[in-house]
Amino acid sequence: MFTGFGAVIVAAGKGSRMGTRESKQFLDIGGRPIVVQTLDIFNRLPWMEEIVLVTGEDDVPRCQDWISEYGLDKVKAVVPGGRERQESVYLGILQLHSEWVMIHDGVRPFVTHEEIAACRDTAIREGAAVLAVPVKDTIKQVNGQGLITGTPARQSLWAVHTPQAFRLADLLRAHETAQQDGFTATDDAMLLEHLGLPVAITEGKYSNIKITTPDDLVLAALMTRNKEESDS
């Protein structure tokens, strides 16, 4: 049985690795800010009921203007984030009323509707899901002296992307438990792992890049140009 979904788009970081004065999520590719392109993907999903954008406190007004300008009518709230991503996500999910929630990075503007729907379906079937791709490279574990201490089996390793999909009640409980325990996670799936709840993998595409560095921005511009040419 299908149940309602909301989404939290996280775009509150400063992105120091990009080396630009402007935050990475507000840089322009293809004539629109990156975060607008990301929001538009979720806004066009017919089954997505509500969207919350989490951004920096000083950036709330211009994001609200863009939501109006670009007709992003499913964005119900723009809220300022916290000091860390974990706090920003929590502030976002507090605004939602849907039974299910997807958490997505504002700087992943190339995720497809097919990937999002596949993550949704896995979550409904398994209880929680993350989009991910198999690791291509051999991974080494290294100690503080720069010496290799182990080589995990590559077939067991996945690079985790977003969106990540959860029951809203489970994710709220996971965040609140983490706050009580003083536990910090690098993604929301890790918070459910902390509770002992299972999270399933949904295989995505390598094109679902996270725009973090200048090289990523160059690749994103090329991907945007190729998409425009293929659509024309």
Q: What is the pLDDT of residues 160-170, one digit of tens each?
A: 999 999 999 99
Give dist(CA 53, CA 109) in Å, integer. Answer: 14
* Helix ranges restricted to H, 26-130: 34-43, 60-69, 85-93, 113-126
Q: What is the pLDDT of residues 115-160, one digit of tens each?
A: 999 999 999 999 999 999 999 999 999 999 999 999 999 989 999 9
pTM for the complete prediction?
0.93
Which secondary structure element, helix H or strand E, spans residue 159, and what is its range? strand 158-167
Give dist(CA 24, CA 7) in Å, integer. Answer: 20
Bridge partners of residue 33, in order along the sequence: 28
Q: What is the pLDDT of residues 7-51, one digit of tens each?
A: 999 998 775 555 566 678 989 988 899 999 999 999 999 999 999
> What residues make up the domain containing 159?
5-231
Confidence of residue 2 (pLDDT cuts 50, 70, 90): very low
Q: If DSSP codes are grouped into helix, strand and coil, which group holds residue 80?
A: strand
- Paired tokens of 64: 């609200």
User: Among candidates 96, 84, 90, 12, which has minimal Cα distance to 52?
Assistant: 96
- Paired tokens of 41: 């993907």
Q: Would you call the peptide bond into 198 cis, given omega within 30 degrees of 0 as the criterion? A: no
Q: What's the CATH code of the domain at 57?
A: 3.90.550.10
pLDDT at position 18 is: 55
Which secondary structure element, helix H or strand E, spans residue 51, and what is its range? strand 48-55
For the chain, what is the domain count?
Answer: 1
pLDDT at position 1 is: 41
